[in-house]
Amino acid sequence: MIKILVYGAGVIGSIFAYKLKSGGNEVSILARGKRLDDLKKHGLIVQDDIFHKTYKTDITVVDRLDREDFYDIILVIMQRQQVSQILPFLKENISPIIIFTGNNPSGATEYLNFIEKNRILLGFGGPGGYREDYKIIAAYVDDAILYVGELDGKISERLNNIKTILNNSGIKVDLSKDIDAWLKTHAAFISPLAMGGYAAMNRNKTLGTDLELVNLALHGIRENMKALKEKNIEILPKKFKILTWIPLLIIRKKLIGLLNSEFGRIALSGHANAAKNEMKRLSDDFFEVVKDVKTGMKTNQKLYELSFA
């Protein structure tokens, strides 16, 4: 039996903990404060509002990670600005594999200041959602997925082993040969949408109902993709390269439909609304990655001012 710690009991952490426990693994989830109390009292509850299904299980809950607490895998699923605080505890712990899963265009540099390279993998998990009282409200729970890769880009034996463990728990896995570029591309795509959403909230609207902000977000995505290209950072997945040239009119209608859908409400707007500090950090980190591009970042800077000023 594989022993796994899910470090973080938010939306994605809760979904992964449920799936991994249901897959027959020995799973613990680390939580604090009210979330810790809720998990102990009510168990782990995830509600899929798309398919109107509720998933519930009892699960081992811990509130700390000590040096001698051994896990085969630690999945760190926390907001980016929170991860820095736990690196000293991960450094001292004896577990061999730590997968940092979340928004991070900055790469592994900070992690490597604390943890040996051979213990670190980078990834990103989905789908999203939000917390409501003691429950997790999510979309497409049965389509949970982890994008994951080694720092050196190799498809290693342990990556394939991790894929098997997660697949057996009903979690899809996409192994990446350049997870750093994947995470930077994800930031380039999601950051303008999040900023557009916050700007719409400042106008007492939703992004899907504000055509001006939708257009700004689309231009911001294109600007970001061009910035990645200028920095010689590969756009991954490769299908995102279309965003550097496709007429925006073609994708605007689809984006508005997605934003105004039930999925958009739960997994996009719901997740972003619950993670404003994380999205601000994401935008700040991405600006740092592309700060010296010649094409400039005027559209994203305008979105930033409309969102966070």
Strands of the sheet with 53-57, listed across from one edge: 53-57, 44-48, 135-138, 129-132
127 and 194 together in one domain: no
145 and 233 together in one domain: no
Provide the residue range defining the domain that includes 28: 3-177
Could you say which of 159, 177, 195 is where a domain stops?
A: 177
Q: Given pLDDT bands bounded at 50, 70 and 90, which one contains residue 270? A: confident
Q: What's the mean pLDDT in 230-240?
A: 95
Pairing of strands 26-30, 44-48: unpaired
Strands of the sheet with 60-62, listed across from one edge: 60-62, 26-30, 3-7, 73-76, 98-101, 120-126, 145-150, 172-175
160 and 220 together in one domain: no
117 and 157 together in one domain: yes
Share of the chain above pLDDT 70, in %: 100
| Confidence at residue 267, expressed as pLDDT on a 0 to 100 scale | 85
Q: What's the mean pLDDT in 273-301?
A: 93
Q: How many residues appear in the chain? A: 309
Secondary structure element (H or E) that encloses residue 98, with its range: strand 98-101
Could you say which of 126, 153, 177 is where a domain stops?
A: 177
Q: Given pLDDT bands bounded at 50, 70 and 90, which one contains residue 268? A: confident
Question: pLDDT tens digits, residue range 128-182?
Answer: 899 999 999 999 999 999 999 999 999 999 999 999 999 999 999 999 999 999 9
Residue 273 confidence (pLDDT) above 90: no
110 and 231 together in one domain: no
Question: pLDDT tens digits, residue range 187-200?
Answer: 999 999 999 999 99
| Confidence at residue 157, expressed as pLDDT on a 0 to 100 scale | 98
Residue 121 confidence (pLDDT) above 80: yes
| CATH code, domain carrying 167 | 3.40.50.720
| Confidence at residue 309, expressed as pLDDT on a 0 to 100 scale | 80
pTM score over 0.85:
yes
* Overall domain count for the chain: 2
Burial of residue 43 (CB within 10 Å: 0-12, 13-18, 19+) is middle
29 and 159 together in one domain: yes
Q: Which of 147, 102, 69, 73 is nearest to 285 (CA)?
A: 102
Rounded Cα distance, 27 and 20, in Å: 7
Q: What's the mean pLDDT in 285-305?
A: 95
Residue 113 confidence (pLDDT) above 90: yes
20 and 159 together in one domain: yes
- Mean confidence (pLDDT) of the chain: 95
Q: Which residue has the higher pLDDT, 272 or 255?
A: 255
Could you say which of 122, 150, 177 is where a domain stops?
A: 177
154 and 59 together in one domain: yes
| Confidence at residue 271, expressed as pLDDT on a 0 to 100 scale | 77
Question: pLDDT tens digits, residue range 97-111?
Answer: 999 999 999 999 999
